[in-house]
Amino acid sequence: MFSLQNKKAVITGAGSGIGKAIAILFAQQNAEVHIIELSDEAAKATANAIKSSNGNAYTYACNVADQKEVIATFEKIGLHDILINNAGIAHIGKADTTSEEDFDRIVSVNIKGVYNCLFASIPFLKKRGGGAIINMASIAASSGLADRFAYSAAKGAVAAMTLSVAKDYINENIRCNSISPARVHTPFVDGFLHKNYPGKEKEMFDKLSKTQPIGRMAKPEEVAALALYLCSDEASFITGTDYPIDGGFLKLNT
C-alpha cells in the first residue's frame, strides 16, 4: 500500500521542515522526487539524504514568486504525477502593524507562488492523464490566530484555490486537496524561539506545544505521512478536501 512506484513528484520548499520530510518519504516509497527550492544548498542537502538511501532526487533553484522561473523549471521537469505546493514564508503582525512591504512579500510567495506552480504544473498533469496536488494550507486559514494577519489571509487563499482546482479539473482526473497543520516542530520554530526569546527557548517551546490539546507539536514526518496517503492510489476517491493535522486544536480548544 501507498506505493509511489513509477510516479514523479514535484515538491516545493523541500530543503527543510515539512517539505524535506515529504521528499524523503516519497522517495522511500519509490517516487522520483524533484525538489524546487530558493536555496540550492538546502535542496541539494535533501537530495543527498535521498540518494544516500538509493532514492532518486533532482534539484532546481527557483523562486516560486517568479512565474518565468517557475515555468522554465517545470519545463525542465516535464511530465509528472504529483505536485506538493509546500513553499511558504511566515510573518508576525496585526492588520495595523503589517507593513505594505511585508504584506506584498507574503502574498507573492504564499499566494502567487502557489498559483505559479499550479499554472505551470497542471498542463503537464493533464498530458499525463491526471495526478494529485497537495497545497499546504494551515489552521490559520480557519482559526483566528493572534498576530498572523497576512499569513492567515494567504493561507485562506490557498484553501480557496484548492477548492477551485479540485472542481475545475475533476473530469481530467486531477485531484487537489490541502493539508492544514497546527504547530509543527521544524528548524523554523527553533530559529524563531532563539531570535525572539533568547534564554527562554525551552519555556516558550513548552508553552507553544501546549496550545495543541494533544500536548505537543507535530513532527514533520507525521505531516508527510498524510501527504503520502493523499497522493497515493489508495486516496483516489478524495478531492476538494482540507485535512487539519492539529492535535485537536480546531475542535478541542475551548
Question: Each residue of 214-243: pLDDT tens digit?
Answer: 999 999 999 999 999 999 999 999 999 999
Contacts of 230-236 with CB under 8 Å at 24 or more apart are 230/132, 230/134, 230/177, 230/179, 231/4, 231/7, 231/9, 231/26, 231/82, 231/84, 231/132, 231/134, 232/1, 232/2, 232/3, 232/4, 232/29, 233/3, 234/1, 234/2, 235/132, 235/175, 236/175
Average of per-residue pLDDT across 21-48: 98
| Domain layout of the chain by residue ranges | 8-182+219-246, 184-217
As annotated, the active-site residues are 151
For residue 254, what pLDDT is reported? 63
Tell me the pTM.
0.96
| For residues 40-69, average pLDDT | 98
Average pLDDT of the chain, as a whole number: 96
Q: For 182-198, what is the mean pLDDT?
A: 89
Per CATH, the architecture of 8-182+219-246 is what? 3-Layer(aba) Sandwich (3.40)
31: Cβ contacts below 8 Å, ≥ 6 apart: 4, 5, 7, 8, 9, 82
